Every structure is written in structure tokens, then in C-alpha cells.
């Protein structure tokens, strides 16, 4: 009887999963990713999106898939697609599912310091694992992203999309989907002054330099160097947040987060391409 009950339970679970899961087309996945960026405030009303070609390059997909995704978002009232002009995010888009909003935003008294501390714990570990597990395909993708980012120092919107792809690729190749999901949520936290960092405080240039250091450590297959480079990157973000915010609120460092350590003790002095896996 116990075996029969287990079999029935397995059948019921399988039926529920099959009924509840719908495979998303590629254009729907792209549309969902862009909607997520808008929902959490990383992209805002009035922002001009990159061209279809740039988006396709950043996301590693075809222009047709990007075009279909943008059309979906336009039909949902999220984007304005003009003829001969850049696609813009509509003012106060009301059709974005509120359930997309970042889960941690529901926590009381969520502070930038708390999110940065979480990133300091998660992302160096994921970078360390990524250095051990990364394959040539992911390495090539990261290289393309960082190469393109060097030309985005005056374009916060393009950089924000590319930066997200860079970090998510590292989380995913680290091989732990649970930690990757937590890190992605922490990354998505819309710091009160995140856009100001990108526009007015040399944040993009500093971030790209950090990405280059992370990339070099991954390419060399050096786990500790990758972890330290990622930690330095998160601490750089924190130091910029302090600089932007210091005139508007007091920074509470009493929760155990000791602040940025900008040193990078491991400086790679050689460069080797990883073998294709």
C-alpha cells in the first residue's frame, strides 16, 4: 500500500508540474528579463533602450528574438517603439506584474549595507567556483561583454543591461542554482542612488576595470584571485554608495560589515587561455 501511495503521489506531483510549467519561447524569456530590470528600478521610465543589434549582442541571441521581445513589451504597454527613434520605457508602465518585484524589498528596514554584506558573502564564493568550472563558451561570452563595456562609460542604460549579464553568467557557471538565485536577487536590489553612481561618479569606468580583473582571474583559472577580485568589486560599489549618500543619511556600520577593503592581494602576472571543455 505504501508503494502504491508513493506512486500515486509521484504521479500527482508530475501532473501538477506539467500543468503548471509552460515552456517560454526565447522572445518571452528576453521580454521577461527586460521586464525584471524595469520592475526593480534598474531601468526607469523614459530610458532609451540599446539598439536591437546591441541588445542581441549583450544577450547572446538573434536580432529577430530581440525584436519579438520588444514587440511583446510594447503590446503590454511597457515600451514605446518609435520609427527611426530609440525604443523607450513608457512613463509609469502599469502592466508589469508586481510579483516580479524583488522579494527582499518586502523585508522591513532593508538597507544598502545589508544587501552589500550579502553580496560580499555570496559573490566571491561564486567567483571562486566559477574559476574552477568555467567553460570556453562562458569565457568567450564574458570577454565579449567586457570588451563592449569599455565603450559604455557614458551610457548607463546599456551598461546596466550588460553588467547584469556579466554577473548572472558568473553565478550560473558556478554550478549551484540556489546560490545563483540568491545572488541574482541581491544584485537586483535597486540601491537608492544606483543610477547616480553610474552617471556622476565614474562608476562605470571603475566597474569595467573591476570586471577586467575578475575576467583575468577566471581566464587564468585562479579561484582565490577571482574571489578577491569580486570582493574588491563589491567593496568599490560600497565605497561609491557611501560617497553619494554621505550628505543625505548616516551610514550605519554597526551590523558587522567593516566597509570596503580596496586592496587586491593577488595580482595575476600571467595570462593563459582555458582549454575548451
Q: What is the pLDDT of residues 159-215, one digit of tens each?
A: 989 999 999 999 999 999 999 989 988 888 755 566 666 666 688 999 999 999 999
Mean pLDDT across the chain, nearest whole number?
Answer: 77
As separate numbers, helices (DSSP H) first and strands (DSSP E) second, the chain gives 11, 2
The residues near 163 (Cβ < 8 Å, ≥ 6 apart) are: 149, 207, 211
**How does residue 139 score in pLDDT terms, banded at 50, 70 and 90?**
very high
pLDDT of 37 above 90: no
Four-residue CA torsion sign, 129, 135, 141, 146: positive
> Where is average pLDDT lowest: 36-50, 103-117, 217-231, 255-269?
255-269
Give the model's pLDDT for residue 154: 85
pTM (2 d.p.): 0.69
Helix, strand, coil percent values for the chain (each to nearest 5) = 65, 0, 35
pLDDT of 223 above 60: yes
Give the model's pLDDT for residue 20: 39
- Give the DSSP letter string of 136-170: HHHHHHHHHHHHHHTT-TT-HHHHHHHHHHHHHHH
pLDDT of 264 above 60: no
* Residue 13 burial (C-beta neighbours within 10 Å; 0-12, 13-18, 19+): exposed
pLDDT of 32 above 90: no
Q: Nearest to residue 124, comparing CAs of 41, 253, 213?
A: 213
Four-residue CA torsion sign, 174, 176, 179, 181: positive
Q: Give percent above pLDDT 90 in the chain.
A: 36
Nine-digit cell at 185? 536577487
More confidently predicted of 141 and 192 = 141
Give the model's pLDDT for residue 133: 97
pLDDT of 7 above 70: no
Q: What is the pLDDT of residues 59-108, one digit of tens each?
A: 888 999 999 999 999 988 889 887 777 898 988 655 555 444 445 555 55
More confidently predicted of 9 and 215 = 215
For the chain, domains (ranges, CATH) are 16-94 (1.10.10.10), 103-245 (1.20.120.530)
Decide: 199 and 250 in contact? Cβ < 8 Å. Answer: no
Amino acid at each position: 500500500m505504501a508503494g502504491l501511495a508513493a506512486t500515486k503521489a509521484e504521479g500527482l506531483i508530475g501532473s501538477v508540474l506539467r500543468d503548471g510549467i509552460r515552456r517560454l519561447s526565447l522572445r518571452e524569456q528576453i521580454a521577461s528579463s527586460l521586464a525584471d530590470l524595469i520592475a526593480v528600478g534598474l531601468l526607469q521610465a523614459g530610458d532609451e533602450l540599446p539598439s536591437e543589434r546591441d541588445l542581441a549582442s549583450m544577450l547572446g541571441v538573434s536580432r529577430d528574438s530581440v525584436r519579438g521581445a520588444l514587440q511583446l513589451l510594447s503590446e503590454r504597454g511597457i515600451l514605446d517603439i518609435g520609427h527611426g527613434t530609440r525604443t523607450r520605457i513608457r512613463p509609469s508602465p502599469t502592466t508589469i506584474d508586481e510579483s516580479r518585484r524583488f522579494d527582499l524589498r518586502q523585508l522591513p528596514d532593508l538597507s544598502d549595507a545589508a544587501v552589500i554584506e550579502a553580496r560580499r558573502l555570496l559573490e566571491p564564493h561564486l567567483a571562486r567556483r566559477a574559476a574552477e568550472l568555467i567553460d570556453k563558451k562562458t569565457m568567450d561570452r564574458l570577454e565579449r561583454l567586457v570588451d563592449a563595456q569599455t565603450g559604455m562609460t557614458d551610457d548607463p542604460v546599456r551598461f546596466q543591461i550588460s553588467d547584469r549579464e556579466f554577473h548572472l553568467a558568473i553565478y550560473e557557471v558556478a554550478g549551484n542554482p540556489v546560490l545563483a538565485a540568491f545572488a541574482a536577487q541581491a544584485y537586483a536590489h535597486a540601491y537608492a542612488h544606483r543610477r547616480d553612481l553610474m552617471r556622476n561618479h565614474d562608476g562605470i569606468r571603475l566597474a569595467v576595470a573591476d570586471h577586467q580583473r575578475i575576467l583575468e582571474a577566471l581566464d587564468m583559472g585562479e579561484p582565490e584571485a577571482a574571489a578577491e577580485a569580486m570582493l574588491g568589486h563589491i567593496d568599490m560599489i560600497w565605497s561609491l554608495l557611501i560617497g553619494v549618500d554621505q550628505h543625505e543619511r548616516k551610514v550605519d556600520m554597526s551590523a558587522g560589515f567593516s566597509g570596503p577593503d580596496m586592496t587586491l592581494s593577488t595580482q595575476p602576472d600571467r595570462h593563459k587561455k582555458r582549454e575548451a571543455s
